[in-house]
Structure 1
Amino acid sequence: MAKQDIQIKTEDGIAKAGLFRSATAPSSKVAIILYMDAFGPRPALDQIAEKLAGQGYAVLVPDLFYRNAPYGPFEAKTAFSDEKRKAVITGLLSGTTQDMTIRDSGAFLDALDAEGLTGPVGTVGYCMGGARALNAAATYPDRIVAAASFHGGNLASDAADSPHRKAASIKARVYVGTAGVDRSFPPEQAARLAEALRAAEVDHVIENYAGMAHGWCVPDHSVFNATGAERHWKRLTTLFAETLE
């Protein structure tokens, strides 16, 4: 497995990113953009990207907080146990809007093109990345054919930039995996998102992972659950196998 560190020019600066490729599929032109959780690029996300790259995809993991670099690094298990670190992360989250990431996603797609990855694209996001993966699919529907969110928050909130408001623009197949109980994506939001996707005739699945807590998929998270993570992995690879290949 090869990781290439690249720099992506955006409207607001330079975003660092990791690009993972499998040596066994060097000619593949399909790619996945992995939208990070609140703790930023780190080995745990690299691990997920490497596993996806092992399926024959190129996987881009951009730093969505690049406007505030340098920062961190943060350890997911302990990041919120210290009030100063918690305040920094909260500031990074509030200072990196959905609209910023939507604009950045155009640059991410251009970066994939520059690397010869001109085929269909899938997106997957964890935590804060979940909404961004869906918003990217809505904004670039002619390129993004699959979008997945795992323990994504505020997918159907009252905010103007909530992904459910853009459901009519999505052409991708959508998969949403939710934690059993998640204050950032309560049942009323799940129902609102489902209705928006149905009304827009988007091919979608919203699945509740009962017993899982917010963050269960990411290996360095305090609530990581190996059984739930494996289930998420099967759903994710099936989605991409049926849409990207």
Structure 2
Amino acid sequence: MPTKREIEIRTADGVCKAGLFGPAKAKAGVILYMDAFGPRPALDEMAERLGSHGYAVLVPDLFYRAGAYGPFDAKTAFVEEKTRTELRALIGGTTQEMTARDTASFIDALAKAGATGPIGTVGYCMGGSRALNAAAAHPGRIVAAASFHGGNLASDATDSPHRSAAKIKARVYVGSAGVDGSFPPEQSAILAESLRTAGVDHILENYVGMGHGWCVSDHGVYDAAGAERHWKRLTALFEETLA
């Protein structure tokens, strides 16, 4: 059975705490990019499940530069003004470029743990765009990248993932919520066209009836059936690319 190991990863900007899951001798690795509420039991459970498939799974605290924060209740944190303000500051203070740069250290940490083979990435909410941008920043190592209810994947921002599609060598899977203001149909169309033009092997799938956050068990919109569908897609992606 996979077990959690608490580790510290030295980056260019400090020390990032992370959870490492899965068997001790896994060759393939997965980086799980958190949603806005940070590492917590719900994400640990997801990493445990991925680790049970034989992968070394890393869950880094992307907000490590901010020092102590939270914990947050995923059901209410964006409703209450105090925690909403804190979350927005954390997200705004952790840029896409920072996470893409940190990913080199995350890959090194997996290698030190024995996962010297191919790497997959998966991200939820704010982590979705980071999983795709990581694949663009490290095309020589990352062979699969997945985003679930990821927001702003094809926005006007200069660091929007669709702008780096030509750098991606990984297979890409994007699962979007049925109705999601952070990733509306027009963004989905732009992302699909960018990936197609770049020659990226990709699938964009709309989970009709699912809300933003449906995959993660402590979200108010968690949907068990929709989450199981997400697991089938994610494990199939990694079985086909990380073997």
What TM-score, normalized by structure 1, do the two folds share? 0.97
Residue equivalent to 1:13: 14
**Residue deviations 1:184-243, cap 9 Å, x none?**
001110000000000011000000000000000000000000010000000000000000
Aligned residues: 242
1:162 maps onto 2:160 in alignment: yes
The match for 2:188 among 179, 187, 190 is: 190
**What's the offset of the Cα at 1:28?**
2.2
Which residue pairs with 2:103 in the alignment?
105
CA distance in 1, matches of 2:46, 2:6: 16
2:240 aligns with one of 228, 239, 242: 242
- 5 Å-filtered alignment, 1:180-219, equals 180-219=178-217
Distance 1:88 1:166 in 2: 29
Asked whether the 8 Å contact 2:215–2:226 carries over to 1, the reply is yes
Cα distance between partner residues in 1 of 2:182 and 2:80: 21
1:126 aligned partner: 124
Conserved 8 A contact 2:25-2:115: no
Q: 1:37 aligns with which of 31, 35, 38?
A: 35
1:113 offset after TM fit, Å?
1.4
Shift in Å, 1:69: 1.8
Deviates more, 1:138-147 or 1:77-86: 77-86
Q: How much has 1:27 moved relative to structure 2?
A: 2.6
Residues in 2 aligned to 1:200 and 1:88: alpha-carbon distance in whole angstroms: 37
1:222 is matched with: 220
Gaps of 5+ in 2: none
Instruction: Choose the corresponding residue for 1:86, options 81, 84, 87.
Output: 84
The residue aligned with 1:2 is 3
5 Å-filtered alignment, 1:170-185, equals: 170-185=168-183
Q: Distance in 2 between matches of 1:83 and 1:222?
A: 18
SS class of match (2:78): helix
By how many angstroms is 1:56 displaced?
0.8
Structural RMSD (CA): 0.7
Instruction: Check the 8 A contact 2:7/2:17 in 1, yes or no.
Output: yes
Match of 1:115 in 2: 113
CA contact (8 A) 2:13 2:65 kept: yes
- Deviation by residue 1:145-202 (Cα, 9 ceiling, x = unmatched): 0000000000011110001011011110000000001000011100000000000110
Query: Partner amino acid for 2:19?
Result: G
List alignment gaps of at least 5 residues for structure 1.
Answer: none
Match for residue 140 of structure 2?
142
Please list the CA deviations of residues 112-149 of structure 1 after superposition, one character each: whole Å capped at 9, or x if unmatched: 11222110000000000000000000110110000000
Partner Cα separation in structure 2 for residue 181 and residue 69 of structure 1: 34
Following TM superposition, where does structure 1 have runs of at least 4 consecutive aligned residues deviating by more than 2 angstroms?
none
Indicate the percent of aligned positions where both proteins have the same amino acid: 69
| Contact 2:4-2:19 at 8 Å conserved across structures | yes
State which drifts further: 81-90 or 223-232.
81-90
Q: CA deviation at 1:82?
A: 1.7
